[in-house]
Structure 1
Amino acid sequence: MKTKLTLIGLLLFVMTSLSGQEITSGKFGNGLFNLVGKDSSWTMRVGLRAQLLGTSTWEDGESGETSFLIRRSRLKFDGFAYSPKLKYKIELGLSNRDQSGASVYTSNAPRYILDAVLMWNFHKNFVIWFGQTKLPGNRERVISSANLQQVDRSILNSRFTIDRDIGFQLRHHFNLSEKFVVREIFSLAQGEGRNITTGNLGGHQYTGRIELLPFGNFSSKGDYKGSDLKREQTPKLALGVSYDHNNNAVKTRSNQGSYMVNDTGFYKTNINTLFVDAMFKYQGFSFMAEYSNRDAKDPFAKNSDGSLLFDDDNDQVIVQVGKGLNLQTGVLLKNDWEVSGRFTTIDWDKITGNSNQNQYTLGLSKYIVGHKLKVQTDISHLEVAAGNNELMYRLQCDIHF
């Protein structure tokens, strides 16, 4: 921890001590400060945000548990280099949760880096991204955790997301009419998640996404923000479909989950994930829907001799195949209080041995300075087939500089 704080302090000191550039600060929530090169050939905006979370849970027949957590704490840098057509984004995770997942595959090191990506607008409406960032999967995952409508994402996201990976993305958009916008994305990634240092262990991961916005763009990119804080004056709708193929995947949830380590290295199988989603906003009302479906060529992990693979706890290793549905809506009042509701259902294939789940969530948010300074609370009831039901209460404060 001491080394980490020293490095951060040194970085900030160096940036603020450099001569020959303009240093400015904007309004609250738009970065701690902005740097502009003397010749205007580069810019850097530096931001910091934190989420402070308290949670209480009660399971059937058991006493409750309470925890307090710095859920997220992140340092962000973005701007352009050499030309406004060459942008970049770097995001570092500072909390324990942000850095979790250290293993031999990440050189047994904390996973500090969330995003490190270059974005080059090389021709008209074509942009190529290269580096580590979120893959173009389900909409809820691509929405920043800073801009969520409720305390955290749904259980659909935690079970089915393809999250971050390293590779490249080709993005393009065009207009079918004056308002009708179409966006296309193709991604090629390593296929094993973020901060992997051991090289490509399986095949590669291919993701395609198309988005349709028949009524035009949302205000301030609101199709990727929770709540209708801009109170859209005309109805706005975004429809999206993503298909992900992870060739010879070596983890139980495509590029997420546990490695399927067998007697000769890794069990490999093709894993496919489909996402269909929608976002609608109008005058403070918002509605988001997502459907996910994951399948595998052969979900039963095996050793080289064809015998079934078991983990250290003697549980059979199986690709987590199944489907999920998430429906979420909210109404923003004139005083910037919002009431929101969410229903999520997870339907696992029987072969996984997992219990199906339904979760109902009621949320209340107060936006003091939009998503930059807000207080959110929600209560959720989780129904587990052949298991213990759970009641969860959460309270979270967000502050973003």
Structure 2
Amino acid sequence: MAFRPALLVLFFVTASIVHAQDMYAPKFGEGILNLKGKDSTWSMKVGMQMQFQGFSQWEEEDASFANEQTSFLIRRARLKLDGFAYSPKLTYKIAIGLSNRDISGGSEYTSNAPRYILDAVMKWNFYQNFELWFGQTKLPGNRDHIISSGNLQMVDRSLLNGNYNIDRDLGFQLRHHFKLSEKFVVKEAFAWSQGEGRNITSGNLGGFQYTSRLELLPFGNFTKNGDYIGSDIYREDTPKLAVGFTYDFNNNAVKTGSNQGSYMVTDTGFFETNISTVFIDAMFKYQGFSLMAEYADRTAADPLAKNSDGTLTGDAVQIGNGLNFQAGYLFESNWEVSGRYTNIDFDKDITSDNAQNQYTLGVSKYIIGHKLKVQSDVSYLTMNFSNDQLLWRLQFAIHF
């Protein structure tokens, strides 16, 4: 637990010795501090992200909503460092989680330690449009998850993402892009990773995870990578469209959510099964209007974990599919209204509440884009055999 004070000391010591380097205070939203070596062989941008959230949740009872639960929390608090080393073609990113939600999940597989590290990755542009990534970072999965938590259109991501995303892992990624015509852009990503998620220290269990993603942008690139930014905050002058396809295969996976969820422990060790996840998504933007659509489908060779005698352990892979549609319009006053519909359809052998539908209405005020904003939304959730739920959230976010 001495890590946090040590981190702060390191930060201030670093800041105190940079008189020997080029240093300047950037504009709001472009980092807390920008550093560059005098010989131009390295750079570092220091940033911080914080999200403060309050929410109330009710459960339907006797044709009315009751059993209110209210809470306040620090949804995210993160320190971010990025820059280049030796050459602008060799870049790096480090993201450290400081809130309890960011570091939760410590277990014997993470040396019984909090999971501080979100990203620790190097990116090497070794030839033309080819880039090799190595370290821990997000896999090239569904669009909603690849969008940074600081750039979300609503208070948080959808139920589809919560149930099917493949998040972060340790390994290698190969990225490439090219043009089919003057405007038509194609992007490819391939990943080979450990298959058990972030901050695992116990060694690889089961097999490896393989992920491939293809993206098509027929009308050219979005302004400032807007295909991975919620809402059309840059107000695209011409229609822009991005369509993505991802296939993920986790060989002999040992977790209920591919590389997420809990370990499937049996009387002899771990239950292993092959898990496949498919994502299809799209983003469209034009003059303040944005539309994002996603589809996910997860299957497993054998989704029900079993002991050596064939009895069920009670663990199961979350197989099924989901749909998510969300749209919004950003007014010139930088107020935005948005809506979302999400459907989750788990396999009936996994849960009786296999069908879930959530309807969400949101409103956002972008004070300085996504760097300083206030967001609120209300959601209505229906399930097969459980009571319907109503959720209201309010969130303030700041991102240096």
Q: TM-score, normalised by structure 2?
A: 0.97
Match for residue 350 of structure 2 among 352, 365, 371: 352
Report the Cα offset of residue 38 of structure 1: 1.5
Displacement after TM superposition at 1:23 (Å): 1.3
Q: Verify the 8 A CA contact 1:329 1:340 in the aligned structure 2.
A: yes
Q: Does 1:142 align with 2:160?
A: no
Q: Which sits farther off after the overlay, 20-29 or 280-289?
A: 20-29
For the aligned residues, what is the CA RMSD? Answer: 0.9
Alignment of 1:362 with 2:361, yes or no, is: yes
Counterpart AA for 1:153:
R
Distance between the aligned counterparts of 2:315 and 2:123, measured in 1?
Answer: 38
1: CA distance between counterparts of 2:270 and 2:60?
A: 38
Residue in structure 2 matched with residue 295 of structure 1 by the alignment: 299
Does residue 33 of structure 1 match 2:33? yes
Task: Please say if residues 352 and 384 of structure 2, whose CA atoms lie closer than 8 Å, have aligned partners that are also in contact.
Answer: no
Q: Does 1:255 align with 2:259?
A: yes
Is 1:323 the counterpart of 2:332? The answer is no
Q: Supply the AA of the counterpart residue of 2:122.
A: L
What is the CA–CA distance in structure 2 between the aligned matches of 1:100 and 1:156, rounded to whole Å?
Answer: 21
The answer for the alignment partner of 2:180 in structure 1 is 176
For 2:43, the aligned partner's letter is: T
Which residue of structure 1 aligns with residue 167 of structure 2?
A: 163
Aligned amino acid, residue 49 of structure 1: Q
Q: Give 3-state SS (helix, strand or coil) of 2:349's partner.
A: helix
Structure 1 residue aligned with 2:270: 266
Say if 1:41 and 1:81, in contact at 8 Å, map to a contact too. yes
Asked whether the 8 Å contact 2:173–2:190 carries over to 1, the reply is yes
* Equivalent runs, 1:118-137 vs 2, <5 Å: 118-137=122-141
Instruction: Say if 2:103 is the partner of 1:99.
Output: yes
Please state how far the C-alpha of 1:385 moved relative to its aligned partner.
Answer: 1.0
Structure 1 residue ranges without an equivalent (≥5): 311-315
SS in 2 for 1:105: helix
Match of residue 207, structure 1, among 207, 211, 221: 211
SS of alignment partner, residue 352 of structure 1: coil
Equivalent residues of 1:300, 1:308 under 8 A apart? no
Q: Which residue is 1:56 aligned to?
A: 56
Shift of residue 20, structure 1, vs aligned partner: 2.2
CA distance in 1, matches of 2:192, 2:227: 24
Report the Cα offset of residue 354 of structure 1: 4.1
Q: Which range moves more in the overlay, 229-238 or 58-67?
A: 58-67
- Taking the aligned partners of 2:250 and 2:82, their CA distance within structure 1 comes to 30
What is the total number of aligned residue pairs between the two structures?
394
1:46 matched residue in structure 2: 46
Match of 2:377 in 1: 378
> In the alignment, is residue 397 of structure 1 matched against residue 396 of structure 2?
yes
Q: What is the alpha-carbon distance in structure 2 between the residues aligned to residue 147 and residue 47 of structure 1?
A: 15
Contact 1:137 1:162 in 2 (8 A): yes
2:375–2:396 CA contact under 8 A, matched in 1: yes
Partner of 2:118: 114
Deviation at 1:272, TM superposition (A): 0.1
Q: CA deviation at 1:24?
A: 0.8
SS in 2 for 1:192: coil
Kept after mapping to 2: 8 A contact 1:106/1:198: yes
Separation (CA, whole Å) in 2 of partners of 1:81 and 1:298: 45
Change (3 A) 1:132 1:252: same
Say which is worse superposed, 374-383 or 8-17, in terms of deviation. Answer: 8-17
Residue of structure 2 in register with 1:342 after alignment: 340
1:264 to partner: Cα distance: 1.3
The 8 Å contact of residues 176 and 187 in structure 2, kept in 1 or not, is answered as: yes
Contact (CA 8 Å) 1:377, 1:394: kept in 2 or not? yes
Q: Cα offset for 1:31? A: 0.3
Partner SS for 2:199: coil
| Alignment deviations for residues 321-366 of structure 1 (CA, whole Å, 9 cap, x no partner) | 1000000000000100000000000001111024110000000000
2: CA distance, partners of 1:64 / 1:317: 30
Instruction: Return the offset for 1:5.
Output: 3.8
Q: Deviations over 1:48-99 (max 9, x none)?
A: 1100000000011242011000000000000000000000000000000000
Q: Is the 8 A contact 2:337 2:363 kept in 1?
A: yes
- Hey, what's the Cα distance between the residues in 2 that align with 1:281 and 1:340? 13
Q: Match of 1:313?
A: none
Aligned partners of 2:60 and 2:108: how far apart in 1?
Answer: 37
TM-aligned CA deviation for residue 14 of structure 1: 2.0
**Paired AA for residue 308 in structure 1:** T
| CA distance in structure 1 between the partners assigned to 2:6 and 2:365 by the alignment | 35
Aligned residue in 1 for 2:191: 187
3-state secondary structure, aligned to 1:351: coil
% same residue: 65
Q: Return the alpha-carbon distance in structure 1 between the equivalents of residues 386 and 161 of structure 2.
A: 21
